Amino acid sequence: MMFKKWSFSIVTGLCLSVGVSAATFEGSLSDQSIKADLSISKDSYFLDLGGMHDTKDGSYGYIGAHIEDKDISKDYPVQIGLGARLLAVDADLSGNDSGIAVGLGGFYRYTLPKANRFSLYGSFYYAPQILSFDNIDKLYQAEVRGEYRTLRNAKVFIRYGLTSVDYSGFSSNHKMNDSFGLGVSLDF
Per-residue pLDDT of 104-155, as tens digits, reads 999 999 998 888 899 999 999 999 999 999 889 999 999 999 999 999 999 9
Going by C-alpha positions, the residue among 157, 27, 134 that lies closest to residue 86 is: 134
| Distance separating alpha carbons of residues 164 and 103, to the nearest angstrom | 12
pLDDT at residue 20, as a whole number: 58
| Distance separating alpha carbons of residues 24 and 90, to the nearest angstrom | 26
In the chain (188 residues long), the average pLDDT of successive 10-residue segments reads: 49 50 92 94 91 92 93 76 95 80 96 90 96 92 96 96 86 84 96
| Distance separating alpha carbons of residues 127 and 167, to the nearest angstrom | 12
pLDDT at residue 75, as a whole number: 63
Q: Which helix (H) or strand (E) holds 125?
A: strand 118-127
pLDDT at residue 144, as a whole number: 98
pLDDT at residue 45, as a whole number: 92
Predicted structure pTM score:
0.84
pLDDT at residue 12, as a whole number: 52
Going by C-alpha positions, the residue among 6, 94, 110, 92 that lies closest to residue 52 is: 92
